[in-house]
């Protein structure tokens, strides 16, 4: 039988096959660390989303405008993070951070900024449903 080791301290584990840790203390420490790392990851993503939303709100106070992409980059916009995607019937793709969104204008390296519209799905679940069954753009 393969030797199992405690994932917290590396001590070989003896006893029941489903025993994962050498002690209650190690189980406690390990689970706490896992939870802490998860919270840090979630916190970092939330922070990036908040910052993106704040930048979009600042740049787009009236609900529709165009900016150069580099302006967003200089303000610290992180294009890797968005909450959801809205696809138009013509194949356009809008990336949203909550109620603020944008799409790339390919011809002139600008970004068109928008806000969530009434004709877009009302619920997040609708968006997820749409993204799941829509064929990808292009
Ligand atoms: Zn241990």
Domain-located, residue 103: yes
Domain-located, residue 127: yes
| CA pair distance 61, 131, nearest whole angstrom | 28
For the cut 80, the answer to whether the pLDDT of residue 92 exceeds it is yes
For the cut 80, the answer to whether the pLDDT of residue 136 exceeds it is no
Residue 38 CA to ligand 1 center (angstroms) comes to: 21
- Domain containing 73 equals 24-133
For the cut 50, the answer to whether the pLDDT of residue 134 exceeds it is no
Residue 60 CA to ligand 1 center (angstroms) comes to: 54
| Mean pLDDT, range 67-94, rounded to an integer | 93
Domain-located, residue 125: yes
Total Cβ atoms within 10 A of residue 123: 8
Residue 25 CA to ligand 1 center (angstroms) comes to: 8
* pLDDT, tens digit, 9 for 90 and up, residues 16-48: 889 999 999 999 999 999 999 999 999 999 999
- For 135, the token pair is 């064929």
pTM, 2 dp = 0.74
| CA pair distance 48, 63, nearest whole angstrom | 21
Residue 35 CA to ligand 1 center (angstroms) comes to: 17
DSSP structure class, residue 95: E
| Number of domains into which the chain is organized | 1
100 or 2, greater pLDDT: 100
Residue 10 CA to ligand 1 center (angstroms) comes to: 6
For the cut 90, the answer to whether the pLDDT of residue 121 exceeds it is no
130 or 41, greater pLDDT: 41
For residues 8 and 30, is the Cβ–Cβ distance under 8 A?
yes
């Amino acid at each position: 039988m393969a030797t199992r080791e405690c994932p917290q301290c590396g001590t070989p584990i003896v006893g029941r096959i489903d025993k994962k840790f050498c002690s209650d203390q190690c189980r406690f420490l390990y689970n706490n660390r896992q939870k802490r790392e998860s919270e840090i990851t979630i916190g970092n993503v939330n922070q990036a989303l908040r910052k993106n939303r704040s930048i979009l709100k600042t740049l787009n106070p009236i609900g529709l405008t165009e900016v150069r992409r580099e302006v967003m980059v200089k303000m610290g916009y992180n294009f890797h993070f968005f909450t959801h995607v809205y696809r138009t019937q013509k194949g356009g793709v809008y990336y949203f951070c909550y109620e603020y969104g944008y799409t790339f204008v390919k011809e002139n390296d600008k970004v068109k900024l928008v806000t969530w519209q009434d004709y877009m799905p009302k619920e997040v679940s609708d968006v997820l449903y749409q993204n799941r069954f829509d064929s990808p753009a292009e």
